[in-house]
Amino acid sequence: MKSAKDFAIVTHDVTKNYKSRIRNLEQRTSFFHRNHRTVTAVDHLSLEIRRGETFGLLGRNGAGKTTLVKVLCTLLPPDEGTAIVNGFDVVKQQMQVKRSIGTIFSVGERGFFWRLTGYGNLEFYAAINNVPRHSRKERIMEVLDLVGMKGNAFQLFQKYSGGMKRKLALARALLADPPILLLDEPTTGLDVVSSRTIREFIRDDLSRKQGKTVLYTTHYIEDASQICDRIAIMQKGRLIALDTPNALRALAKKNEVSDVIVKNMSKTQINALKGMYGVASLAADVQDAMLGQTRLRLRLENVDTLPEIFDFFFKEKIKIVNFKQEEPTLEDAFIELTGSGIKE
């Protein structure tokens, strides 16, 4: 049986509300008074994150992920509920919480001095994070080496690429060697190579080698599926699912997923197929405009619907170029659970 010491982060009924101005004049009491409405960003959220775990928090923009991270790193006090980080209360023991965590927010270059080198920036943050003076230089070079930035240590920050800035932000979070890392969308805006490099570093070095606890928030489904031990899905401030990536994928297995490439299929025929009994959803994209090929991603209620689909193609004289059955993805599970796509 697990005790409280086994968990790096524990929240119980955490709630955070914001006041938002009402812009519609008809909803105000008068022209001169701006009324406010309450928006609940995090709604009675309870979760437990184990020590040494890479825990993914998945959801659309606006789901409440960043607000939760701000509560956990003491930037925002919860309106209701409690949050414990490394055994410390985020309201009553803020300094102990801050010493326990390293944090990256989605815009990683915030807080850096553009006219200083990467090393100079880390030297400043090492001082304010109480890294011992006698070991400061060694620690700075160590974290720069960890994130693959040692060769660019003395280059001006303003000349860094987006990926380099994000890596330096990760180095800053690691300076004080905290046991817990709160990474809020650390790959946002990065190219494919930089994103993969950061994901692999988090998975292979921070989690597996160093045993850090990582809370990784993202709206990129593949990011979470590749590196996280467990994933929680948030929607409108609430937790709607929590399990391993494979277990979440299994939630979508009740729907068969078929990938079909067809030739010369009209929009009218696509709409007719979408309305057929047994078709849970249909996404159609142009595969090759020159050849008149369309890619269909069909989610069926069950495999017994397939013969009727093929009959439809035959009667409508639609040529099938390619057909394959697919295992459900984490994206399929997300859509199944939320009833909407991940993108805004």
User: How many other C-beta atoms are found inside a 10 Å radius of the C-beta of residue 121?
Assistant: 22
Residue 141 is predicted with a pLDDT of: 96
Question: Do 123 and 198 fall within a single domain?
Answer: yes
| Residue pair 7/48 in contact by the 8 Å Cβ criterion | yes
- For residue 333, being part of any structural domain is answered with no
Question: Do 264 and 139 fall within a single domain?
Answer: no
- For residue 334, being part of any structural domain is answered with no
Question: Do 219 and 190 fall within a single domain?
Answer: yes
Asked if residue 344 has pLDDT above 50, the reply is no
Residue 120 is predicted with a pLDDT of: 97
Residue 72 is predicted with a pLDDT of: 97
- For residue 48, the surrounding DSSP H or E stretch is strand 36-50
Provide the number of structural domains found in the chain: 2
pLDDT digits (tens, 9 = 90+) for 89-143: 999 999 999 999 999 987 656 789 999 999 999 999 999 988 999 999 999 999 9
Q: How confident is the model at residue 341 (pLDDT cuts 50, 70, 90)?
A: very low
Question: Do 164 and 313 fall within a single domain?
Answer: no
Rg of the chain (C-alpha set): 24
| Residue pair 298/260 in contact by the 8 Å Cβ criterion | yes
Q: What is the CATH number of the domain that holds 217?
A: 3.40.50.300
Residue 31 is predicted with a pLDDT of: 53
Q: How confident is the model at residue 2 (pLDDT cuts 50, 70, 90)?
A: low
Question: Do 139 and 72 fall within a single domain?
Answer: yes
| Pairing assessment for the beta strands 54-58 and 213-218 based on DSSP bridges | parallel
Asked if residue 18 has pLDDT above 70, the reply is yes
Range of the domain at 320: 256-327
Question: Do 303 and 219 fall within a single domain?
Answer: no
Q: What is the CATH number of the domain that holds 271?
A: 3.30.70.100
Question: Do 11 and 122 fall within a single domain?
Answer: yes
Question: Do 140 and 282 fall within a single domain?
Answer: no
Question: Do 19 and 84 fall within a single domain?
Answer: yes
- For residue 23, being part of any structural domain is answered with yes
Question: Do 155 and 194 fall within a single domain?
Answer: yes
Residue 343 is predicted with a pLDDT of: 39
Question: Do 220 and 198 fall within a single domain?
Answer: yes
User: Whole-model pTM?
Assistant: 0.76
- For residue 9, being part of any structural domain is answered with yes
Residue 342 is given by DSSP the state: S
Mean local confidence (pLDDT), 83-93: 97
Better-predicted residue by pLDDT, 284 or 34? 284
pLDDT digits (tens, 9 = 90+) for 168-205: 999 999 999 999 999 998 887 778 888 888 899 999 99
User: How many other C-beta atoms are found inside a 10 Å radius of the C-beta of residue 130?
Assistant: 10
* Boundary residue ending a domain (227, 250, 273): 250
* Beta-carbon contacts of residue 263 (< 8 Å; ≥ 6 apart): 291, 292, 293, 294, 318, 319, 320, 321
Asked if residue 327 has pLDDT above 90, the reply is no
Question: Do 202 and 233 fall within a single domain?
Answer: yes
Q: How confident is the model at residue 19 (pLDDT cuts 50, 70, 90)?
A: confident
d(CA 219, CA 340): 13
Asked if residue 335 has pLDDT above 80, the reply is no
- List Cα–Cα distances, 338 to 58, 75, 133, 343, in angstroms: 11, 29, 50, 12
pLDDT digits (tens, 9 = 90+) for 233-284: 999 999 999 999 988 887 765 566 788 999 989 999 999 999 998 888 888 9
- For residue 239, the surrounding DSSP H or E stretch is strand 238-243
Instruction: Show the tokens assigned to 64.
Output: 């409440």
- For residue 342, being part of any structural domain is answered with no
